[in-house]
Amino acid sequence: MFKTILTLIGPKRRNRMLALIPLMLLASLLEVAGLSLVVSVCAALADSAWMGENPAMVWLRAALHINSEAALTAAILLALIGLYAFRLPYLAWENYMVAKFIRTTRYELSALLCRRIVHSPYPFFTRHSTAELQNLLGRDTAQFSAGINACMQILMEALVVLGMGLYLLLIDPAMTLFLTAGIAALTVLIRVILLRPVRAAAQRQRDANRRRWKWLQHIVSGIKDIKTGRQEDYFAGHFAEASAECARSDYLRQFWIRLPALCIESVMVLTVLLYILFFVRTGKQLQEYLPSLSALAWTAIRLLPACSRINASLTEIHYAKPSVEAIRFAMEETAPMEKAPPVCPAEKERTGSIVLEHVSFTYEGEGAPVLRNVEMEIPMGASVGIIGPSGAGKTTLLDILLGLLTPDGGEIRIDGVPVARYYDSMAEKIAYVPQTTFLLDDTVRNNVAMGLEEGQIRDGQVWEALEKAALAGKVRSLSQGLDTPVGERGIRLSGGERQRLGLARALYRDPALIVFDEATSALDLETEAAVMDSVHRLKGQKTLVIVSHRASAIGRCDRIYRVEDGKVVREK
């Protein structure tokens, strides 16, 4: 999994991670040096002759030209004081750098994923629910971050364990090998036993968290229907059920993280006791091994948490695996598409007409095509109505016109040039007004000029768009004018006002083509007539494509097409 993580974080963040390794290595060396000095002092205090008998101490005394054990002990104490004076600020800084890398990597990855998702082709969003994407950008990136942290923790603690082990090996090889064999065997056994249940629990937790997002989304989006239907307990119950599964996975996770630490602690103590028992049974003098035992005791103080953290990190990696795989799959699925450079039609041929030639479309996984051999023309400045029963393919036809879907056969031409060759430049001249206008929980100004920063918005242009949408009078009557918040999903506005605000947003961009997808179907007849009157006043200034199942909404259109059974027929 570590290889997958390195691939996903990218070369820039990978270089940052590699730059942290020397810092972690030095931190580990400081840990080993500090503990070895403490152990040396304790061993010398336990047995004054130890300094003269231990090979490492003999070599050190010769290297430093020190004549007595007392002077060497004093030198070691001074070195220990200096080491710990430097160790504290350095380890604090090293921990800060590691934490900074892990957290920034998480949010950079989340931002990158969001950007790739937003720029993904429209069919991507028909395959993935809001709850899935929220889970991906929220919990999965957090678990990914935990996986990186676990990998780095293992590296750092492994360096400490290795250094301590080598030092113990110099002091007492037999004891060190005996202890190492016991801990290694236990670690392998624990990992084998826990591997399957930990991975299963991690997947259950991820699925449960996705369900929590799903039911919360249902509650927020459908609260009016839920309240009027007295269905609060049903939705709250499903959310509570998913939350309970998350809680169960969480406490099992904490148990499995803590369990290896308890086992390793017991094994380490039992190993020392067995080692002592062995010497007692052989009749050897225990006092001879007090320095080694004191060294082992001091080393165990640091080795025990290090081994525990390694095992805890291994458990975290198993928990992170489903999220890492989900992110890897999402990165592959949202890989940027190569686009041909835009080619604009020649000025002398510019007529503005949009022509669909033999267009067909079939949704993935469905056998029958939704649209078959569509022939259609939308003249510049004209208003074109599209009518037909539900499920006939009207919305699919619009999605193709908007460039959200790519036809299986045929093509769309503007001024005789295939749209696919310069869609990006053309898309800036297309506006879309859906059946339910999406509104930001923000001001009127920011909703009309959605997508622009505060400093880029021109209030004069906002008022002009509101005037054309017949909404300027209403906005002027509000105490805060353009700064009036519309509320979440525009809850402070009526249905007609929300649709007019959507129309104003479309007009703010000064598009050449405006597409209306059942934009008045949720309105009463009087409000619909008022909104459509605003729309039809744009005839001749803009090209209008209006989809509706109401004849009243398209009665004044220059052309009318009927969509039925996958075919498009001109009726006017």
Cα 131 from chain centre? 12
Question: Do 310 and 427 have their domain in common?
Answer: no
Per the DSSP assignment, residues forming a β-bridge with 515 are 432, 545
Residue 494 lies in a domain: yes
| Among candidate residues 307, 333, 359, the one where a domain is terminated | 333
Q: How many domains does the chain have?
A: 2
**Contact at 8 Å (CB) between 335 and 402?**
no
DSSP code of residue 472: H
Walk along the chain (572 residues) and give the pLDDT tens digit of each residue. Answer: 677 877 787 788 888 888 888 888 888 788 777 777 776 666 666 565 555 566 666 666 677 777 776 777 777 778 778 888 888 898 889 888 888 888 888 888 888 888 888 888 888 887 888 888 888 888 888 888 888 888 888 887 887 778 777 777 776 677 777 777 777 777 788 778 877 888 788 888 888 888 888 888 888 777 767 877 788 888 888 889 888 888 888 888 778 777 777 777 777 777 767 777 776 676 666 555 666 666 666 666 667 777 778 878 888 888 888 888 888 888 888 866 544 444 444 444 445 688 888 889 888 777 788 888 888 888 888 888 888 888 788 888 888 888 788 888 888 887 777 765 555 556 667 888 887 888 888 888 898 888 888 888 888 889 988 888 888 888 888 888 888 888 877 778 887 788 888 888 888 888 888 888 876 666 667 766 777 777 777 777 788 888 887 777 787 888 889 888 888 888 87
**Contact at 8 Å (CB) between 452 and 509?**
no
Question: Do 199 and 116 have their domain in common?
Answer: yes
Give me Rg for the CA atoms of the chain: 35
Which pTM was predicted? 0.70
Question: Do 264 and 381 have their domain in common?
Answer: no
Question: Do 269 and 404 have their domain in common?
Answer: no
Question: Burial of 444 by CB count in 10 Å (0-12 exposed, 13-18 middle, 19+ buried)?
Answer: buried
Residue 48 lies in a domain: yes
DSSP letters, 395-438, are HHHHHHHTTSS--SEEEEEETTEEGGGSHHHHHTTEEEE-SS--
| Among candidate residues 281, 302, 333, the one where a domain is terminated | 333
Domain CATH for 420? 3.40.50.300
Question: Do 132 and 82 have their domain in common?
Answer: yes
What are the phi and psi torsion angles at 336 (to 5°)? -55, 135
Q: Is the torsion defined by CA of 390, 396, 399, 401 positive or negative?
A: negative
Q: Walk across the sheet containing 354-361 and list its strands.
A: 371-378, 354-361, 409-414, 417-418
Q: Which residues contact 564 (CB under 8 A, 6 or more apart)?
A: 388, 389, 392
Per the DSSP assignment, residues forming a β-bridge with 516 are 433, 546
Tokens coding 122: 């429209």
Residue 115 sits in which domain range? 2-333
Question: Do 378 and 248 have their domain in common?
Answer: no
